[in-house]
Amino acid sequence: MTNDMNNFLLQLGTTNEDIIAISENCLQLRQLDLLGSNVIIEDAIECILKSCLHLEFIDLSFCAKISDPTIDKWITQYKNCFKRSYSPRNNDDVYTEFA
pLDDT tops 90 at residue 49? yes
Judge residue 6's burial from the number of C-beta atoms within 10 Å of its C-beta, 0-12 exposed, 13-18 middle, 19 or more buried: exposed
Domains along the sequence of the chain with CATH = 14-97 (3.80.10.10)
Average pLDDT, the chain: 76
pLDDT of residue 40: 93
pLDDT tops 50 at residue 93? no
Q: What is the pLDDT of residues 4-38, one digit of tens each?
A: 443 343 445 889 999 999 999 999 998 888 888 88
Q: How far apart are CA 56 and CA 48, in angstroms?
A: 12
pLDDT tops 80 at residue 82? no
DSSP per-residue codes, 8-22: HHHHH---HHHHHHH
Question: What dihedral angle (degrees, nearest 10) is formed by the CA atoms of 6, 41, 55, 75?
Answer: 150
